[in-house]
Amino acid sequence: MVPFAGWEMPVHYTGLMEEHRTVRSRCGIFDVSHMGEIEVRGPGALDAVQRLTTNDASKLIDGQVQYTMLCNDEGGVIDDVTLYRFSAERYVFCVNASNTAKVFDWTQTRTGSVADVTDLSSRAGQIAIQGPLSLDVLQRVTDRDLGPLRFYRFLEGRVGGVTAIISRTGYTGEDGFEIYCEADEVEAVWLTVMESGRQHGICPVGLGPRDTLRLEMGFPLYGHELDEETTPLEAGLDRFVKLDKVDFIGKAALERQRREGVSKRLIGIELLERAIPREGYSIFGEGALVGRITSGTFSPSLQRPIALGYVTSLSAHACSEVEVEIRGKRIKGRVVKPPFYKRGSDRLEKPRKNHSSQTKNSCIAG
């Protein structure tokens, strides 16, 4: 157990490699109740959300989820979030735990005059079920047919005897679900899902495998790939920035950056030797220092070292090979476009077919 954003969180339960590979091949369960939930409600809710976010919330329908970002006036990322639309007058942000207070204050200050903003985080618990067998596991203990539920959609139902929001979302690159419920009922949901998944080899999963799973997919982690000094365009998240929508905070700065070009760019790197790249390690291109690693690990699925890092924009376009300095030695690597891991390419056992077309609570449901 380690301190994490004001919580005590498990790094792992039985072992990082075992938990990681179980999610890739079968099913894992995560307690992610540390995540924050911020509600925006009222007749002006859509206008408020549009003012805050880079993506276009007007495209959402009830029961749909959207990945988006909140930016400051300079275009730097305050947080990357998932946005849930319950109705035209009710939206809920799922935010990173370390940013909950910041996002609440920012949302209330910038939009409180047109909508009611409420921090639901202390009332909400969240369990994630991820892996190719997650549908089989969860379907046995819910009263809703989850097969037709599309990726980035959600519905209200019951898990065991607990009223919950069931969302087909996740942070692993696998098919899976996130379940929101009242905080005092989250243990009951955990035990129900664990019992249902026992025959499928379900296992609890900690922060360590959560990080290696997301890194194999090239998903950004706030405080590493994203922060208030980094824009979505520099992070390669252009598709989540809708510059043709109504004005939003940071739009002018992002429009200027789109015209003038970015000074740095996020790249993926696969090392050619078994040395582990870590945050802060130097990246060299053609002998010159060109950037820094933001996240790195040894990929349990691919059995090789992988990393994300920022390099100068010129280097990002010019270099197909780089070197990463690790303990005084420069290790060669090739530049690759994430995701590093392609879903379904690494299976310990073949999963049963489900009906997913693709593949971030009752207090929320209120």
Render pLDDT for 180-217 as a digit per residue (tens, 0 to 9). 999 999 999 999 999 999 999 999 999 999 999 999 99
pLDDT band of residue 351 (cuts 50, 70, 90) is: very low
Cα distance between residue 168 and residue 360, in whole Å: 9
pLDDT at 366: 42
How many angstroms separate the most distant Cα atoms in the chain? 61
* Tokens encoding 364: 């929320």
pLDDT at 316: 75
Alpha helix stretches (DSSP H) within the chain: 16-25, 45-52, 100-111, 134-139, 186-197, 207-216, 251-260, 313-318, 362-365
pLDDT at 347 over 50: no
* Tokens encoding 326: 């690790």
pLDDT at 345: 59
pLDDT at 205: 98
* Tokens encoding 227: 């922060």
pTM, two decimals, is: 0.93
pLDDT band of residue 77 (cuts 50, 70, 90) is: very high
Cα distance between residue 271 and residue 275, in whole Å: 8
DSSP label at residue 352 = P
Average pLDDT of the segment spanning 94-100: 97
Q: 8-67: per-residue pLDDT in tens?
A: 999 999 999 999 999 999 999 999 999 999 999 999 999 999 999 999 999 999 999 999
Specify the pairing of strand 2-4 against strand 282-285: unpaired
Cα distance between residue 176 and residue 188, in whole Å: 19
Q: 279-332: per-residue pLDDT in tens?
A: 999 999 999 999 999 999 999 999 999 999 999 988 777 789 999 999 999 999
CA angle, 268 then 274 then 279, to 5°: 50
Cα distance between residue 2 and residue 204, in whole Å: 16
- Among residues 69, 45, 1, 17, the alpha carbon closest in space to that of 254 is found at 69
pLDDT at 354 over 80: no
Domains of the chain: 27-201 (3.30.1360.120)
Measured on CA atoms in the order 314, 223, 178, 116, is the torsion positive or negative?
negative
Phi then psi for 259, rounded to 5 degrees?
-70, -45
Mean pLDDT of the chain: 93
Cα distance between residue 263 and residue 48, in whole Å: 31
Q: Please write down the HEC assignment for all residues of 232-274.
A: CCCCCCHHHCCCCCCCCCCHHHHHHHHHHCCCEEEEEEEECCC
pLDDT at 346 over 80: no
* Tokens encoding 303: 């059995």
Which residues touch 358 (CB under 8 Å, ≥6 apart)? 150, 151
pLDDT at 343: 82
